[in-house]
Structure 1
Amino acid sequence: MVEKTKELISVDNVSLDYGGKDGNGPAIKDVSLDIYPGEFVCVMGPSGCGKSTLLKILAGFIKPTGGTASLDGNKINGIDAQRGVVFQNSTLYEWYSVKKNVGFGLSMRHVAKATIAEEVEKYLAEVKLDDWGDKKVFELSGGMKQRAAIASALINKPEILLMDEPFGALDALTKNQMQNLIRRIWAKSHNTIFFITHDVDEALLLGSRVVVMSKHPGRIIADFPAPFTTDILRDNDDDIRYSKDFLAKRKKILEMISQDILE
């Protein structure tokens, strides 16, 4: 379990109201959440509950209409390299090589070419794309594109990695492989990860902590530690998903969400 010292991210009574009939009104309401260095926080809830809205606020893409979100005690006012983002569909440049995509952020910061080349090789190896660096992105499979997207985020050494249902569009086998990859990267690098998912199993299997949001407008209705990803890393086996403890927590979350939707 991650030792809680000083929070890295602090969300204090954050609300976002898009307003009017066209904007669809409030997305999240009075959300408060602290995230500590090294945590793997999985956030889940019903469709339309505002999970992605919360992530966009943390990324600095949009500003809340109420409350504040801070990183290291500083109010989040826009995007910066301290927060890496990985979406469900990769935002890579299809006509660029994998190497050029992964090193793009460093090149925009005018890092020396030799350093970029060295770092790109390092992170391509980290995501098991060593032999694919010279390929164009359009030549890659969906899983490979997501691995390249993860490498392009990690290479900038962000303080927190924000992931918005990054494996949602992948087939079951590739999804399992990607879950194993991000779990291993987290354990090795001690990155702080904020991971959005609609999949209860994925949240429990990946997160060191699971946050459950209510129906629209989203608010936090549960927040608890989850030991399963640590157990998987220790035993190199994800059969824990069939354990009584796992199935009980899974059932509790599903019942919680179902009850909230029906209220």
Structure 2
Amino acid sequence: MTMGWGDGVDAALLARLRAFDTPTICNALELATGGRRATGFTRRTMVCPFPALPPMVGFARTATLRSAAPSSMAAAEARALRLRYYAHVAGGGVPTIAVIQDLDHDVGLGAFWGEVNSKVHRALGCAGALTNGAVRDLDMLAPDFPIVAGCVTPSHAFVRIEQVGGDVEILGMPVRDGDLIHADRHGAVTIDRDAAARLPHAIEVIIARERLILEAAAQPGFGVEAIRRAMAEGDDIH
């Protein structure tokens, strides 16, 4: 039996979406939702330690962090919060993505993501990590754990989780806890749950339309008239 998570979203669909890069998903969302948009995706170049890994696709488990100054929490309280965070992101059969917003003015001063947290999250069943903050330990990260981060830094400074759950923003992309996320070396996009099941067909349409242009461009004597014909043929692909 295929595991499902509502709105037509199941393990088979997520596996299908992992076969395509994030720009393709962005294009397919335009077709599936009725037009272009300028929201719902990250807006700056990000760091991806393992760019050859397949995209991460899963459900956001949100949190916030700070690293610029020591925490005012008592040690026991801080440890309890950290354990609550780990329980929040643990997969438990659901493909989760840790989505953590760095709240500091000097974003990325200290890295939460490094050797230990990459391997801990991977072992908890987390499918990957997305943050506007920092990553470090590039040679020692879990090699099959995709991370997309805002920058690289050598220190963890005073890094700690501030809040578990809630709304966050990653480089211009608003994320709610539970949102469906697709991310790779290009950045990330949130996927409308009610449009997710339509994406495979939308991807097929986009690929077919682009193939007409690309095949025409590979022919001798290619020019504007060939573009016009290919675009007209593409209009008939639905």
Considering the TM-score relative to the shorter chain, is it more than 0.5?
no
Q: Radius of gyration: which is bigger? A: 2
Q: Which TM-score applies when normalising by structure 2?
A: 0.29
The answer to which structure, 1 or 2, has the higher relative contact order (CA under 8 A, 6+ apart) is 2
TM-score (norm 1): 0.27
